[in-house]
């Protein structure tokens, strides 16, 4: 049965975020079937300010503080992990801030609500041409590409492929990019992280930028560490998924006695203990994220430079919330027993989605090594800071 669109809110009564999240929660099976978040949801996320959060204020952006955006991602992810993941790329304008200012003026001329999706790796060689680059190749993991207004691909810079080398990203209109519909994965199925293919397209130099490069816009958000923020918004997805898992166990706990005659979940001491431990684990990681983010943001607003130690802690927060979220979901799945093994049960979906989040390269074990190196006063891996 096709999805019935909700009744449109009147001009005097715009849709609330709560209404949108309720619809997202109901449509998770559709997202999985389609393997992407449909355009109507992306457009409604735009209306809620998700895709102007990191647009420069001078071009109509909201100037949303990092902690506020992270909470927004967390809230959407609680409704659906794939929707939260796609919404997290509302932060991607921090990359675009490295484009020339005149290019950004063109980019945001029609609206500050711009969806940018990119497939950066594997970095493809591009041929230098008069005034730009001749781009050709295939790239992976372009989350949200089917709902994007502009697309990016990684063509390298300096000595591409060397550790720590910044990647030059070419920005193209969707009409110049083929989306290879091949996103077939165990979790976060609705993110639509398909491959991108470009065949011999010329991209002017002014439509390329260095990923994590110096921004052309001097506003507080663009002084926040770019790659650390990109990792944090992804890690925050697992905070929302984990909260959904805890809520699910809470609803199950007072239910019927098990078919084996075992007592209700709420009446079992080991369940109560594990739920309390999970709550403490999740809240601790969450506090670490928001405390560190807030400290860095206040320093930026005060005009202070961001120290390497702060960047390392920001990177560490992203890994911690991703890992903590997954551990909480795994624990709740285990507590649910055989009930959760059915494909219709929310906990198996939460487990698969949370597992995929922590597999992201930004959230890997190497981050612990980099953060530990900074803490001990030795050089971290290239590209960590």
Do residues 236 and 348 both lie within one domain? yes
Do residues 205 and 88 both lie within one domain? no
Residue 9 lies in a domain: no
Among candidate residues 210, 242, 269, the one where a domain is terminated:
210
Strand partners, 144: none
Nearest to 97 by CA among 230, 194, 237, 234: 230
Q: Is 333 helix (H, G, I), strand (E, B) or coil?
A: helix
Residue 277: CATH number of its domain: 1.20.140.10
Do residues 62 and 86 both lie within one domain? yes
- Measured CA to CA, the distance from residue 352 to residue 340 in angstroms comes to 12
Do residues 278 and 331 both lie within one domain? yes
Among candidate residues 183, 210, 237, the one where a domain is terminated:
210
Do residues 232 and 201 both lie within one domain? no
- Measured CA to CA, the distance from residue 134 to residue 3 in angstroms comes to 42
Mean pLDDT of the chain: 93
Give mean pLDDT, residues 127-147.
96
Do residues 245 and 321 both lie within one domain? yes
User: Which of 7-11, 20-24, 164-168 is predicted with the least confidence, judged by mean pLDDT?
Assistant: 7-11
Residue 353 lies in a domain: yes
| DSSP 8-state code for residue 257 | P
Do residues 346 and 259 both lie within one domain? yes
Do residues 231 and 359 both lie within one domain? yes
Nearest to 190 by CA among 326, 41, 330, 329: 41
| DSSP 8-state code for residue 36 | S
Do residues 135 and 269 both lie within one domain? no
On the question of pLDDT at 163 being above 70, the answer is: no
Q: How many CB atoms lie within 10 A of CB 166?
A: 17
Residue 4 lies in a domain: no
On the question of pLDDT at 269 being above 70, the answer is: yes
Do residues 371 and 230 both lie within one domain? yes
Nearest to 248 by CA among 343, 340, 322, 356: 340
- Measured CA to CA, the distance from residue 88 to residue 99 in angstroms comes to 20
Predicted model pTM: 0.93
35-64 in b/e form (b: 16+ CB < 10 A) is bbbbeebbebbbebbbbbbbbbeebebbeb
Interval 71-111: pLDDT, tens: 999 999 999 999 999 999 999 999 999 999 999 999 999 99
Residue 193 lies in a domain: yes
Nearest to 15 by CA among 41, 36, 44: 44
Do residues 206 and 138 both lie within one domain? yes
Residue 230 lies in a domain: yes
pLDDT value at residue 256? 61
User: Domain residues for 351?
Assistant: 224-375
Number of structural domains (the chain) is: 3
Residue 61: CATH number of its domain: 1.10.540.10
pLDDT value at residue 166? 74
Do residues 154 and 234 both lie within one domain? no
Give mean pLDDT, residues 45-63.
98
Among candidate residues 179, 210, 241, the one where a domain is terminated:
210
Residue 273 lies in a domain: yes
Residue 108 lies in a domain: no
Residue 174: CATH number of its domain: 2.40.110.10
- 9 — pLDDT class (breaks 50, 70, 90): low
Kindly tell me the sign of the dihedral angle through the C-alpha atoms of 89, 93, 98, 104.
positive
CB 60 within 8 A of CB 108: yes
Interval 220-268: pLDDT, tens: 999 999 999 999 999 999 999 999 999 999 999 876 655 566 789 999 9
pLDDT value at residue 212? 85
On the question of pLDDT at 5 being above 60, the answer is: no
- Measured CA to CA, the distance from residue 336 to residue 350 in angstroms comes to 13
CB 354 within 8 A of CB 241: yes
- CB < 8 Å & 24+ apart, contacts of 36-39: 36/144, 36/145, 36/146, 36/147, 36/183, 36/190, 36/191, 36/192, 36/194, 37/82, 37/83, 37/86, 37/144, 37/146, 37/147, 37/190, 37/191, 37/192, 38/147, 39/146, 39/147
| DSSP states along 167-232 | PEEEEE-GGG-EEE-----SS-GGG--EEEEEEEEEEEGGGEEETT---SS-SGGGGS-HHHHHHH
Give mean pLDDT, residues 280-309.
98
CB burial of residue 345 (10 Å; 0-12, 13-18, 19+): middle
What percentage of the chain carries pLDDT values higher than 70?
93
Give mean pLDDT, residues 154-171.
71
- Measured CA to CA, the distance from residue 104 to residue 217 in angstroms comes to 9
The answer to whether the bond into 312 is cis (omega within 30° of 0) is: no
Residue 53 lies in a domain: yes
């Amino acid at each position: 049965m096709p999805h019935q669109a909700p009744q449109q809110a009147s001009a005097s009564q715009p849709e609330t975020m709560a209404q949108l999240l309720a619809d997202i929660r109901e449509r998770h099976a559709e997202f999985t079937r389609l393997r992407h978040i449909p355009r109507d949801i992306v457009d409604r996320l735009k209306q809620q300010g998700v895709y102007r959060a990191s647009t420069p204020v001078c071009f109509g952006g909201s100037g949303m503080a990092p902690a506020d955006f992270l909470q927004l991602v967390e809230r959407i992810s609680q409704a659906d992990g794939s929707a939260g993941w796609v919404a997290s790329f509302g932060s991607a304008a921090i990359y675009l801030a490295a484009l020339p200012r005149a290019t950004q003026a063109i980019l945001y001329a029609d609206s500050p609500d711009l969806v940018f999706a990119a497939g950066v790796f594997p970095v493809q060689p591009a041929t230098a041409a008069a005034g730009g680059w001749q781009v050709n190749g295939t790239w992976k993991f372009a989350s949200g590409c089917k709902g994007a207004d502009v697309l990016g691909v990684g063509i390298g810079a300096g000595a591409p492929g060397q550790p720590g080398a910044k990647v030059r990203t070419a920005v193209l209109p969707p009409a110049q990019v083929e989306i290879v519909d091949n996103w077939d994965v165990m979790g976060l199925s609705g993110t639509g992280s398909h491959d991108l293919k470009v065949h011999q397209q010329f991209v002017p130099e002014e439509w390329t930028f260095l990923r994590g490069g110096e921004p052309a816009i001097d506003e507080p958000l663009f002084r926040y560490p770019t790659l650390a923020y990109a990792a944090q918004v992804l890690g925050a997805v697992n905070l929302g998924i984990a909260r959904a898992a805890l809520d699910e166990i809470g609803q199950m706990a007072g239910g019927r006695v098990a078919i084996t005659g075992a007592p209700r979940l709420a009446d079992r001491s080991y369940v109560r203990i594990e739920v309390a431990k999970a709550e403490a684990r999740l809240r601790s990681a969450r506090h670490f994220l928001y405390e560190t983010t807030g400290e860095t943001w206040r320093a930026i607003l005060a005009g202070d430079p961001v120290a390497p130690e702060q960047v390392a802690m920001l990177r560490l927060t992203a890994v911690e919330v991703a890992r903590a979220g997954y551990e909480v979901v795994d624990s709740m799945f285990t507590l649910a027993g055989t009930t959760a093994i059915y494909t219709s049960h929310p906990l198996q979906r939460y487990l698969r989605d949370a597992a995929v989040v922590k597999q992201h390269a930004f959230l890997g074990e190497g981050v612990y090594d980099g953060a530990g190196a900074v803490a001990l006063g030795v050089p971290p891996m290239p590209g960590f800071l």
